[in-house]
Structure 1
């Protein structure tokens, strides 16, 4: 129940006068545990089928399990040549899990699955506080059954930790708003700050919603609210900035190169490649480069069609109806919650719709908690006013839209199922005008059947590579690519395959890599090439040029010195990037190796022994 400061003037904020909170019904707690149990089953079932999933991050987790320095910085190899192109918080959990349970697919993927269960539980708790246990269950179920959420909570990209921390931030903001609590608001700042350490500036897209929710609905003076917000901002900066400060203060020669940057700077990575470059498309070193670098047309339609539609669009039309109608029907804390969840949804959706830089369908997992929150809060507010025909019409329209959207997304997969969901949606929508209580279960099944089926199909499909996509096998997206043997040449225009998927080394090549004592068993152009060889052999493999092969790490002169010092045993041929922005050092290194050393072929891979001296 909200506690209102009786001394605060009524004009300071919209009045919060919640209904007396009834004791939770007896079914609420068992239903919550059923929700968590079903979510855990969905996220953990056959988890190991995806093997290394994104080998890029799996190799970094492996490195972190072998070296505490690699763990702290997020290095791609235990010898600390270069970091991943993100801040490393997600890798910390994977690295610790690998240290405890060994380096294997399960230990790398389980942390994300548990983060998914935690996200569903936190979302339920947040929505329950403002709208009751039924609303919390609906919100949690929507998140749990969003296909892109199932994908990412069964994968090892940083998005799982990002979502968990942002939901935690929303929960803390809602708690702060109830009592004008600076402590809870500071905790929200800590959560968002730590989320920055998972996926950098994307974490800050929720800040307008969190700030406005507190500013408009906390019951205290404007001055105090501004001071509380300033304190939360400070907490966020400390929680997210301490690691950046440490990295910037450590001399460049005493730490790995910052992957994704051109100047070995985490600040450049934050503001450039992973920052404003994502909005403008001007990302030096990216696979596209330049504004509008091949990432599709912009606009709101981006979220509803193509690859993104099957990831996130199932309930988007219904969500927008419930956001508007729910605002009309809601009172007090529920309205504050709609600002938090609705603001999160609208700002993030707008950025994803109009950004010109690198964007992939799985990014939309950041929208899933907001969709669940709006649906839970908005539907509950309308249900309480179901005696009003306007409220029933809004609920009915939302269910009908969910059925129509599911039909559009399912038609290319299973036309019969698509028609069944559409009919069920219309039945559930019409039933609200005859017997609302009877037709609520039908409406819920109709709304969740489409994304639920797609989610089960997602969990049943192995996903590997750098660009995963939710849905059944054969419906599009990048799901394969875990195999391959690498290229026969030491670099050059090998195409995207070797950059976005990791090779699987044969037994002879693995034995060769394990046979030396050099700092790096081998070097290869591109992080995914290096990751495949490193995961297969368990030995450090230098990722020349970082993820895209376009980082100046190492330079040709630095690489030549490392070879002269006997610190790199082999150079392995593979795909490189050509015609991109960024450094050409990786290509120069590959060309120098090809000119200077005699190559042999092992398991289909060009291998150059760098310890026998230049041969030609």
Structure 2
């Protein structure tokens, strides 16, 4: 169907259902939110720093004295830092912005899908997003992915509004949303650009020339929205801002194009500690099993089936048909992002797949409603039956990875889903009431396993740099100290760091940002992260560190272990060796400290 008018007001029943959905989502994402403590202490320390110093907030420095930034652009830290400024430092205030981003994402996805596909499709999409396990994980965690998802859905909403009337204003806003996405997680935000551009070019009701011109304006808005901070960081001299963490040359452009850009695709990441090992070898199967499958694959096959079926059913529709445009929008989002995540050879983590969750959810909502409306056609009935059957099998396979967790659920969703698929196959011959009951039953069975998995995810704390979804038997990875987690120092160490801290720029220095974060969050004093996240950044160099010690800017050096790659600067290692050669160690509560003031 072609639809350009404003969607009708939601019926009372749908409004009530939406309110229930949002309240349930808020409960899932906010319940016992502080149980994860500092979650990813790396970003929690940056939020703490930003709450104390405006310059540290602007650049997302990991300490309030502005030594080095996080290895991402700063937008997510801005929200956390402002939350800490308002509510004070706590695990709850750090994690709250991500939970609210999750509720906002569900609401905005519902509104986006509803405009072209109706309220039922919007509600289904919202429910699927809310109960996707990787979403339940990341909207309760403080990595930048939560804000990125919200901004990308906002870009999709603006694209939908733009297509309806060939509106340059709305397509420019879509470009701005992607630009702010870049300020959240750099080039990952650009993976949705093919979807936005193709849909506008294909479906906007105006001439080709105007469509191209409008997209050019949107590209300009994206560059401005995402580029102003990059320009500021590049133009300011290095002494006037923190070192750009994750780069070898103190450059945001190097960070965006190298370590967080092309290096993620080809694996050539200078300063990293390794590629995608642990998340499956590059290939199309990566998304469907293992940790990535736990997070996103429950309804991924169904989304692909209804995408193909929906495009077939709308193959003869006019160019501006909004149902086909919706399938193209979310389908290209899923296919492009999914291909990149499947084939990239550099660092990749399972939680990245939260960026696929809105597309999967939207396609399930749009595709199933589109096929249901035409269920008396054999092709549409086959799409519904195939999607239901494949979902049942996929859920059984994923649940088979944790056979000791709720063992009856596997048989329930498998045999129930296959039975519902068989009934859907004959839906064209059935009375409307009977067919409707079967459809509701099939939807419940399809959502049962991911919903249970999401509840299990929310029921346990997650900490460290690499959280993962699921029940306790496969839950969030926890690491003590080093690269992937932050240490929890004892009271004697905390008292030592706080002693005379006001007389120094940094109360202490330690190799690795996660190590620094643990001490800084515990003691509430600035701790310099030597070498940045991986300990491979030349920040500071040995000469610069020696000068800082000579100038009395650092009180303690803390001995600590960290993982380190084979590439990047060895300045942090040389600094640790220099300290050991020139200063006397003392052990406090099992931690080796060097008093640099002596």
d(CA) in 1 for partners of 2:475, 2:514: 22
1:311 maps to what in 2? 295
Q: How many residues align?
A: 581
**Structure 2 residue 398 is matched with structure 1 residue 430:** no
Q: Give the conservation status (yes or no) of the 8 Å contact 1:576–1:587.
A: no
1:133 aligns with one of 119, 122, 144: 119
- 1:485-504 per-residue CA deviation (whole Å, 9 max, x = no partner) reads xxxxxxxxxxxx51110000
**Structure 2 residue 8 is matched with structure 1 residue 43:** no
Q: Give the conservation status (yes or no) of the 8 Å contact 1:16–1:217.
A: no
d(CA) in 2 for partners of 1:295, 1:307: 7
Q: Give the conservation status (yes or no) of the 8 Å contact 1:469–1:476.
A: yes
Question: How has the CA–CA distance of structure 1 residues 65 and 17 changed in structure 2, closer, same or farther, with 3 Å as cutoff?
Answer: closer
- 1:344-376 per-residue CA deviation (whole Å, 9 max, x = no partner) reads 000000000000000000000000000011111
Question: How has the CA–CA distance of structure 1 residues 22 and 249 changed in structure 2, closer, same or farther, with 3 Å as cutoff?
Answer: closer
d(CA) in 2 for partners of 1:405, 1:360: 21
Q: Give the conservation status (yes or no) of the 8 Å contact 2:461–2:476.
A: no
1:467 maps to what in 2? 466
1:403 maps to what in 2? 392
1:250 aligns with one of 236, 248, 271: 236
d(CA) in 1 for partners of 2:232, 2:515: 29
The SS at the match of 2:335 is helix
d(CA) in 1 for partners of 2:575, 2:112: 53
2:251 aligns with one of 257, 261, 265: 265
**Structure 2 residue 164 is matched with structure 1 residue 183:** no
2:524 aligns with one of 516, 538, 547: 538
**Structure 2 residue 235 is matched with structure 1 residue 226:** no
The alignment yields a C-alpha RMSD, in angstroms, of 1.5
The SS at the match of 1:99 is helix
The SS at the match of 1:263 is coil
**Structure 2 residue 377 is matched with structure 1 residue 388:** yes
**Structure 2 residue 265 is matched with structure 1 residue 279:** yes
d(CA) in 2 for partners of 1:239, 1:568: 37
d(CA) in 2 for partners of 1:477, 1:188: 34
Q: Give the conservation status (yes or no) of the 8 Å contact 2:104–2:150.
A: yes
| Structure 1 unaligned spans of 5+ | 1-14, 485-496
d(CA) in 1 for partners of 2:499, 2:362: 55
The SS at the match of 2:106 is helix
Deviation at 1:577, TM superposition (A): 3.6
d(CA) in 1 for partners of 2:495, 2:232: 38
The SS at the match of 1:607 is strand
**Structure 2 residue 83 is matched with structure 1 residue 97:** yes
2:329 aligns with one of 332, 336, 340: 340
The SS at the match of 1:601 is strand
Q: Give the conservation status (yes or no) of the 8 Å contact 2:534–2:564.
A: no
The SS at the match of 1:600 is strand
Q: Give the conservation status (yes or no) of the 8 Å contact 1:396–1:430.
A: yes
Q: Give the conservation status (yes or no) of the 8 Å contact 1:550–1:577.
A: no
1:322 maps to what in 2? 306
Q: Give the conservation status (yes or no) of the 8 Å contact 1:569–1:609.
A: yes
Deviation at 1:400, TM superposition (A): 1.1
- 1:197-236 per-residue CA deviation (whole Å, 9 max, x = no partner) reads 0000000000000000000000100000000000000000
d(CA) in 1 for partners of 2:594, 2:588: 10
Q: Give the conservation status (yes or no) of the 8 Å contact 1:307–1:477.
A: no
d(CA) in 1 for partners of 2:7, 2:51: 48
d(CA) in 2 for partners of 1:351, 1:213: 20
